[in-house]
């Protein structure tokens, strides 16, 4: 859960998000080192009156400042491509959930069950109970089992939406007439918040996403209760 004045990312709740955090730190360190070197060179050039005649026309330095940036780009590109393919990998999901975007709420359908589906609306501010978060709580949460591969099929019924949960490292556009898919594994129990990340109209800010990760036994009990109510 994000908090005011937070400078970094939310704590990772999935293996892919942990990889993304490691890559962010890796790339940020490279940018920091490059910035430090460039700043040092600028300060040295401005503050000194000495001139090195061997640097004015040097093949060796030209080779270095051509090869070094290429090596740095490779050091950034290789882990980036690895994570990109990891995010696209969907291996034998234990559960498939279809998330449909509407103006302005989400509906979820557990396609492995016959009649398990519901709409998820934001809880108005005046109806919140102590401890609930404004603009982030919903009347029905998307409940998933912990440490199980979950496939999400994302689409929309009216305009463009985007199903995004930062702690899980998931963001997928919901396009009318198109079925996109993504996957995640929750590495720990918890409640993870997200919001529609595509401007979709007047109430774009009022269609939150709440994913609740629970142990498998609790998920089975929850699904049984939901089927009985249906």
Are both 225 and 136 inside the same structural domain? Answer: yes
Question: pTM of this prediction?
Answer: 0.85
Domain that holds residue 67: 15-88
Q: Is residue 4 domain-resident?
A: no
φ, ψ of residue 152 to 5 degrees: the values are -110, 120
Are both 45 and 157 inside the same structural domain? Answer: no
Are both 104 and 194 inside the same structural domain? Answer: yes
Which residues does 215 contact at the CB level (< 8 Å), separation at least 6? 145, 146, 189
Are both 163 and 60 inside the same structural domain? Answer: no
Are both 151 and 216 inside the same structural domain? Answer: yes
**CATH number where 200 lies:** 2.60.40.420
Can you point out the beta strands (E) in the chain? 95-102, 105-110, 117-120, 142-145, 150-156, 161-165, 170-174, 180-184, 190-196, 208-214
Q: Is residue 194 domain-resident?
A: yes
Q: What mean pLDDT comes out for the span 81-88? A: 92
Could you give the CA distance from residue 211 to residue 194 in angstroms, rounded to a whole number?
8
The per-residue pLDDT for range 197-213, each reduced to its tens digit, is 999 989 999 999 999 99
Structural domains counted in the chain: 2
The per-residue pLDDT for range 101-123, each reduced to its tens digit, is 999 999 999 998 888 999 999 99
CA–CA distances in Å: residue 152 to residues 95, 97, 163? 9, 5, 10
pLDDT at residue 166 greater than cutoff 90: yes
Are both 62 and 131 inside the same structural domain? Answer: no
Q: What is the dihedral of CA 93, 163, 21, 215, to 10 degrees?
A: -50
3-state secondary structure (DSSP) of residue 131: coil
Q: Which of 1-15, 70-84, 100-114 has the lowest mean pLDDT?
A: 1-15
Tokens standing for 120?
């998820």
Q: What mean pLDDT comes out for the span 48-59? A: 75
Are both 19 and 125 inside the same structural domain? Answer: no
pLDDT at residue 156 greater than cutoff 80: yes
Are both 68 and 109 inside the same structural domain? Answer: no
């Amino acid at each position: 859960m994000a908090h005011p004045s937070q400078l970094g990312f939310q704590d990772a709740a999935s293996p892919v998000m942990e990889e993304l955090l490691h890559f962010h730190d890796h790339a940020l360190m490279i940018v920091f080192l490059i910035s430090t070197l460039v700043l040092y060179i600028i300060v040295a050039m401005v503050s000194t009156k000495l001139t090195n005649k061997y640097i004015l026309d040097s093949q060796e330095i030209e080779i270095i400042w051509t090869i070094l940036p290429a090596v740095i780009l490779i050091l950034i590109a290789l882990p980036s491509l690895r994570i990109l393919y990891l995010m696209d990998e969907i291996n034998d999901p234990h559960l498939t959930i279809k998330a449909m975007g509407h103006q302005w709420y989400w509906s979820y359908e557990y396609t492995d069950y016959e009649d398990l589906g519901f709409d998820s609306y934001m809880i108005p501010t005046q109806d919140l109970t102590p401890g609930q978060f404004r603009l982030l709580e919903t009347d029905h949460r998307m409940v998933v089992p912990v440490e199980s591969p979950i496939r999400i099929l994302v689409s929309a019924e009216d305009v463009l939406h985007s199903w995004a949960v930062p702690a899980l490292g998931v963001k997928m556009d919901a396009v009318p007439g198109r079925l996109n898919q993504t996957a995640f594994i929750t590495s720990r129990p918890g409640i993870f918040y997200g919001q529609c990340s595509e401007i979709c109209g007047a109430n774009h800010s009022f269609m939150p996403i709440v994913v609740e990760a629970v142990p498998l036994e609790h998920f089975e009990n929850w699904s049984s209760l939901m089927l009985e109510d249906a």
